[in-house]
Amino acid sequence: MLGMMKNTEFFVVRYLVLVSVLTCFVSPVAAKDKKLWIDSSEASAPVEMKLPSFAPIIDTLGQSVVNISISGTEKGNNAEQELLNQLFRGPQAPKASPKREFRSLGSGFVISESGYIITNNHVVEKADKIKISFKDDRKSYTAKIVGRDAKTDLALIKVNVKKKLKPVVFGKSDSLRPGDWVIAIGNPFRLGHTATVGIVSALGRKMPGGGPYDDFIQTDASINPGNSGGPLFNSRGEVVGVNTAIYSPGRLGGGGGFNIGIGFATPISLVKSIVSQLHQDGKVTRGWLGVLIQSITPDLADAMGLDSLEGALVAEVMDGGPAESAGVKRRDIIVKFNGQPVVENDQLPLMVAETKIGKVVEMEVIRDGKLKTLDVTIEQLKDIKAPEVVEEKVKNTTGAIVQDLTPEISQSLDVDKLKGVVVTGVQPGSAAERAGLARGDVILEVAGKQVRSSKEFYKSTKGFKDGDILLLLIHRAGGTLFMTLKNE
């Protein structure tokens, strides 16, 4: 027995020695491999999220959300009538109807016990009758329009009911961050009160073809036709936006398409100022500066010798406007307005619009590389559609065929006061064609110098060689804009 124990001890010792020897030959890299990551067993989770049910919040908030049903008449569709005439020839052909009835739907939310409700302008703008229904109430109630604003697509309506209504609580949209939880409640596809949950995807969004006051919250909370005008809540149950539009394949807007996870809501910070004016005056009064602006592209920055792309480039100063009176000039770059920096071009219109009429505002501009301060008195924006500034980018050679701007041509183009050359043709495949330079455009300046004849134009562009960037100022559709010709 003693001999067997000694043999066992011998083998154990040999095993331990063998293990220790092999351990000495283990690669140091292999030892380090174990520390390439941290397992959950070795450390606590960086963030622990506890997600309770949204049911209590939705049940409470749903009492303040309304379904909106509208009916009205609109002009008949001539193309539709023509199709009917082709299908039904002879005496049985339907007679043309100048108007036809339509029905639509939307959502809204109560903001006061007395019955004021916020919704979208596009929901009610054509309505002859507006019917409101509440959750768990089979009755429908008639509402009337108090005021509406097409530019921000907001409307204020009022419904008269005997009972006190439960209003929402406004939150702070300025404190939202991408990733925050949001809840949308509305009436999609006539299904009635429907709640969807998502997150804030992005802030400060502009929509293609949108207006100058676009400043949307983007969310992936499902929004569909019928959700328009409904509230967007944060996780505290406070309204932070008004669901306004969706982006879907082949369609952008609030009246059609289907949700693909990109919806837009108007921030409640903007809604407050608009609704206050609608309640008081039935309309919105906005400030007016009197300039046409455009963003600064890298090519424009190179052509104008600018070190930054920040600011709003003044393409035109309107006659008799506040900017002209303050001494603003074309080519000025507005970098600060009323103490607020203008980083992006499209920030300025909203800043001006929210400024009180008659207020004297300090505005900083960069002119010829130097910072200049101007005092401008804000006037009221008139309901006149200003010519749109279209930004263009030109590559390679000009390819523009021009001729002198004669009195006859000036009269036909309605540009009697302009001096320049008119584009009469664009060479196929040229930089001008690729840029969209078109017949009827009037070229006013080349490289900062006025051109009065076709001879001057061709002379000023003659030395345009590879690598050069040429700055043009053109007039189009009642407005002016800068173009850069880049010869690559």
Three-state SS sequence of the chain: CHHHHHHHHHHHHHHHHHHHHHHHCCCHHHHHHCCCCCCCCCCCCCCCCCCCCCHHHHHHHHHHEEEEEEEEEEECCHHHHHHHHHHCCHHHCCCCCCEEEEEEEEEEEECCCCCEEEECHHHHCCCCEEEEEECCCCCCEEEEEEEEECCCCEEEEEECCCCCCCCCCECCHHHCCCCCEEEEEECHHHCCCEEEEEEEEEEEECCCCCCCCCCEEEECCCCCCCCCCCEEEECCCCEEEEEEEEEECCEEECCCCCCCCCEEEEEHHHHHHHHHHHHHHCCCCCEECCEEEECCCHHHHHHHCCCCCCCEEEEEECCCCHHHHHCCCCCCEEEEECCEECCCHHHHHHHHHCCCCCCEEEEEEEECCEEEEEEEECEECCCCCCCCCCCCCEECCCCEEEEECCHHHHHHHCCCCCCCEEEEEECCCCHHHHHCCCCCCEEEEECCEECCCHHHHHHHHCCCCCCCEEEEEEEECCEEEEEEEECC
Q: Is residue 6 one of the residues assigned to a domain?
A: no
Residue of higher predicted confidence among 314 and 206: 314
Q: What is the CATH number of the domain that holds 426?
A: 2.30.42.10
Q: Is residue 353 one of the residues assigned to a domain?
A: yes
400 with 471, same domain: the answer is yes
Q: Which of 264, 281, 298 is the last residue of a domain?
A: 281
Catalytic residue among 69, 228, 248, 460: 228
Average model confidence (pLDDT) for the chain? 79
What token pair was written down for 364?
Answer: 């900083």
Q: What is the CATH number of the domain that holds 132?
A: 2.40.10.10
242 with 206, same domain: the answer is yes
Q: Is 276 one of the catalytic residues?
A: no
* Least trusted range by pLDDT, from 78-87, 137-146, 289-298, 343-352: 78-87
227 with 325, same domain: the answer is no
Q: Which of 78-82, 187-191, 227-231, 295-299 shows the highest mean pLDDT?
A: 227-231
Q: Is residue 49 one of the residues assigned to a domain?
A: no
141 with 61, same domain: the answer is yes
418 with 455, same domain: the answer is yes
Mean pLDDT to the nearest integer, 347-372: 92
* Least trusted range by pLDDT, from 181-195, 337-351, 401-415: 401-415
376 with 401, same domain: the answer is no
105 with 120, same domain: the answer is yes
Per-residue confidence (pLDDT) for residue 184, from 0 to 100: 94
How many domains does the chain contain in total? Answer: 4
Per-residue confidence (pLDDT) for residue 35, from 0 to 100: 64
Say if residue 408's pLDDT is above 90. no
- Say what percent of the chain tops pLDDT 70: 74
188 with 153, same domain: the answer is no
Q: Long-range contacts for 198-205 (Cβ within 8 Å, ≥24 apart)?
A: 198/222, 198/261, 200/176, 201/261, 201/262, 202/178, 203/176, 203/177, 203/178, 205/264
Q: Is 128 one of the catalytic residues?
A: no
Residue of higher predicted confidence among 411 and 169: 169
| Residues 419-443 pLDDT 10s | 788 887 767 666 666 666 777 788 8
Per-residue confidence (pLDDT) for residue 9, from 0 to 100: 54
218 with 233, same domain: the answer is yes
* Least trusted range by pLDDT, from 17-26, 244-253, 264-273: 17-26
255 with 303, same domain: the answer is no
277 with 177, same domain: the answer is yes
Q: Is residue 149 one of the residues assigned to a domain?
A: yes
Q: Is residue 306 one of the residues assigned to a domain?
A: yes
Catalytic residue among 64, 69, 107, 122: 122
Say if residue 94's pLDDT is above 70. no
Q: Is residue 165 one of the residues assigned to a domain?
A: no
Q: Which of 137, 159, 181 is the last residue of a domain?
A: 159
Mean pLDDT to the nearest integer, 61-89: 67
Per-residue confidence (pLDDT) for residue 80, from 0 to 100: 46
Q: pTM (2 decimals)?
A: 0.64
Per-residue confidence (pLDDT) for residue 83, from 0 to 100: 42
Catalytic residue among 64, 69, 153, 173: 153
Q: Is residue 255 one of the residues assigned to a domain?
A: yes
Cβ contacts of residue 85 below 8 Å, gap of 6+? Answer: 93, 94
Q: Which of 350, 380, 410 is the last residue of a domain?
A: 380
Q: Distance between CA atoms of 96 and 78, rounded to whole angstroms? A: 8
Per-residue confidence (pLDDT) for residue 120, from 0 to 100: 95
Q: Is residue 9 one of the residues assigned to a domain?
A: no
Per-residue confidence (pLDDT) for residue 411, from 0 to 100: 62
Say if residue 316's pLDDT is above 60. yes
Mean pLDDT to the nearest integer, 30-56: 71
- Say what percent of the chain tops pLDDT 90: 34
| Residues 206-252 pLDDT 10s | 876 667 788 899 999 988 888 899 999 999 999 999 999 887 665 44
Strand partners, 101: 73
Q: Is 416 one of the catalytic residues?
A: no
Per-residue confidence (pLDDT) for residue 198, from 0 to 100: 94
| pLDDT grade for 255, boundaries at 50, 70 and 90 | very low
264 with 298, same domain: the answer is no
Residue 435: give the domain boundaries.
394-486
